[in-house]
Amino acid sequence: PLVAEALTGKEQLTVFAPTDDAFAKLDLTSENVGQLDKMFLTDVLLYHVTGGRLLAADVLASEQIEMFKGGSLMQNAGILTDNLGGKATIIVTDVEASNGVIHAIDSVVLPKAPPGQ
């Protein structure tokens, strides 16, 4: 519910959406994702969202992107680097949505290490 509430306002947003294969790299499926700590999962999902409508040209012109609920991603030539040094490549750009734009990425970015690690 926290993620849905954050994303349903009138504010324009940019979402860096991991593909199904990106989640599979973490051994996450629709069956086991519910076993993750809810606050950690919420933080991860919101770490993929930034305020405002950033088209590909805007993203590529940025070295650092402040994320919606804190933290930032470093950006260099379409490669995003998270707080832990993990990297995700933008593979699809400028998918228009009614409240912003979506860019698909090939890995899940993490704001912090999962609980217990």
Q: What pTM, to 2 d.p., does this model score?
A: 0.88
**62, two tokens:** 């940025």
Task: Show the low-confidence residues of the chain (pLDDT under 70).
Answer: 1-9, 29-30, 32-33, 116-117
Exposed/middle/buried for residue 104 (C-beta within 10 Å: 0-12, 13-18, 19+): middle
**Which residue do the tokens 């860096």 mark?**
16
Q: Can you tell me the distance from the alpha carbon of 112 to that of 117, in angstroms, rounded to the nearest whole number? A: 10
Distance CA 76, CA 38 (A): 31
pLDDT, residue 103, reads: 97
